[in-house]
Amino acid sequence: MNEDFTELIKYLDEKFTRIDQRFDEMKKDFVNLQTSVDSYAKKADTYFQEMVMLAHKVDRHEKWIRQIAEKLGIKFRILNRFSLPAKYPVFDPQPRFP
Protein backbone atom coordinates (compact mmCIF):
# COMPACT_ATOMS: atom_id res chain seq x y z
CA MET A 1 0.00 0.00 0.00
CA ASN A 2 2.86 2.34 0.75
CA GLU A 3 4.23 1.89 -2.75
CA ASP A 4 0.95 3.03 -4.26
CA PHE A 5 1.16 6.35 -2.45
CA THR A 6 4.77 6.79 -3.45
CA GLU A 7 3.91 6.29 -7.09
CA LEU A 8 0.95 8.64 -6.77
CA ILE A 9 3.06 11.30 -5.08
CA LYS A 10 5.77 10.94 -7.72
CA TYR A 11 3.20 11.19 -10.52
CA LEU A 12 1.53 14.25 -9.00
CA ASP A 13 4.89 15.88 -8.37
CA GLU A 14 5.86 15.48 -12.03
CA LYS A 15 2.45 16.70 -13.11
CA PHE A 16 2.64 19.83 -10.95
CA THR A 17 6.21 20.48 -12.08
CA ARG A 18 5.03 20.49 -15.70
CA ILE A 19 2.12 22.76 -14.80
CA ASP A 20 4.51 25.13 -13.03
CA GLN A 21 6.72 25.19 -16.12
CA ARG A 22 3.75 26.00 -18.31
CA PHE A 23 2.73 28.84 -15.98
CA ASP A 24 6.28 30.18 -16.10
CA GLU A 25 6.17 30.12 -19.91
CA MET A 26 2.77 31.82 -19.90
CA LYS A 27 4.08 34.45 -17.50
CA LYS A 28 7.01 35.17 -19.84
CA ASP A 29 4.61 35.41 -22.80
CA PHE A 30 2.37 37.76 -20.83
CA VAL A 31 5.31 39.97 -19.88
CA ASN A 32 6.37 40.11 -23.55
CA LEU A 33 2.84 41.01 -24.58
CA GLN A 34 2.59 43.65 -21.87
CA THR A 35 5.91 45.16 -22.98
CA SER A 36 4.70 45.26 -26.58
CA VAL A 37 1.43 46.95 -25.63
CA ASP A 38 3.28 49.50 -23.48
CA SER A 39 5.67 50.23 -26.34
CA TYR A 40 2.78 50.72 -28.77
CA ALA A 41 0.94 52.95 -26.30
CA LYS A 42 4.03 55.13 -25.89
CA LYS A 43 4.44 55.44 -29.67
CA ALA A 44 0.75 56.27 -30.09
CA ASP A 45 0.93 58.89 -27.32
CA THR A 46 3.99 60.48 -28.92
CA TYR A 47 2.27 60.47 -32.32
CA PHE A 48 -0.88 62.14 -30.95
CA GLN A 49 1.19 64.78 -29.16
CA GLU A 50 3.05 65.49 -32.40
CA MET A 51 -0.26 65.80 -34.28
CA VAL A 52 -1.55 68.31 -31.72
CA MET A 53 1.65 70.33 -32.03
CA LEU A 54 1.43 70.16 -35.82
CA ALA A 55 -2.19 71.33 -35.76
CA HIS A 56 -1.22 74.31 -33.60
CA LYS A 57 1.64 75.09 -35.96
CA VAL A 58 -0.67 74.98 -39.00
CA ASP A 59 -3.18 77.21 -37.19
CA ARG A 60 -0.42 79.69 -36.38
CA HIS A 61 0.77 79.71 -40.01
CA GLU A 62 -2.77 80.13 -41.26
CA LYS A 63 -3.23 83.10 -38.93
CA TRP A 64 -0.05 84.70 -40.27
CA ILE A 65 -1.12 84.08 -43.87
CA ARG A 66 -4.52 85.65 -43.16
CA GLN A 67 -2.80 88.70 -41.67
CA ILE A 68 -0.48 89.01 -44.67
CA ALA A 69 -3.39 88.58 -47.10
CA GLU A 70 -5.39 91.24 -45.26
CA LYS A 71 -2.49 93.72 -45.41
CA LEU A 72 -1.99 93.03 -49.11
CA GLY A 73 -5.71 93.24 -49.85
CA ILE A 74 -5.93 89.65 -51.07
CA LYS A 75 -8.96 87.48 -50.42
CA PHE A 76 -7.81 84.40 -48.51
CA ARG A 77 -9.68 81.14 -48.50
CA ILE A 78 -8.57 77.65 -47.72
CA LEU A 79 -8.81 75.21 -50.59
CA ASN A 80 -9.16 71.55 -50.08
CA ARG A 81 -9.74 68.68 -52.43
CA PHE A 82 -13.52 69.08 -52.11
CA SER A 83 -13.63 72.77 -53.00
CA LEU A 84 -11.78 72.46 -56.33
CA PRO A 85 -13.25 71.15 -59.57
CA ALA A 86 -12.05 67.67 -60.49
CA LYS A 87 -9.88 68.98 -63.35
CA TYR A 88 -7.75 70.95 -60.86
CA PRO A 89 -5.74 68.64 -58.61
CA VAL A 90 -5.05 69.85 -55.09
CA PHE A 91 -1.29 69.65 -55.42
CA ASP A 92 -0.74 71.25 -58.79
CA PRO A 93 2.90 72.29 -59.34
CA GLN A 94 1.76 75.06 -61.69
CA PRO A 95 -1.30 76.75 -60.18
CA ARG A 96 -3.96 77.95 -62.61
CA PHE A 97 -5.37 81.41 -62.02
CA PRO A 98 -8.83 82.26 -63.35
For residue 79, pLDDT beyond 90: no
Q: Please answer whether residues 36 and 28 qualify as being in contact, where contact means their C-beta atoms are separated by less than 8 angstroms.
A: no
> Count of alpha carbons within 13 Å of 50, Cβ hemisphere only?
6
Arithmetic mean of pLDDT over the chain: 82
| pLDDT score at 92 | 45
pLDDT band at 53 (very low <50, low <70, confident <90, very high): very high
For residue 86, pLDDT beyond 90: no
In this predicted model, what pLDDT tens digit does every residue of 34-51 receive, in sequence order?
999 999 999 999 999 999
Q: Please tell me the pTM assigned to this model.
A: 0.52
Widest CA span of the chain, in angstroms?
A: 106
Question: DSSP state, 88?
Answer: S
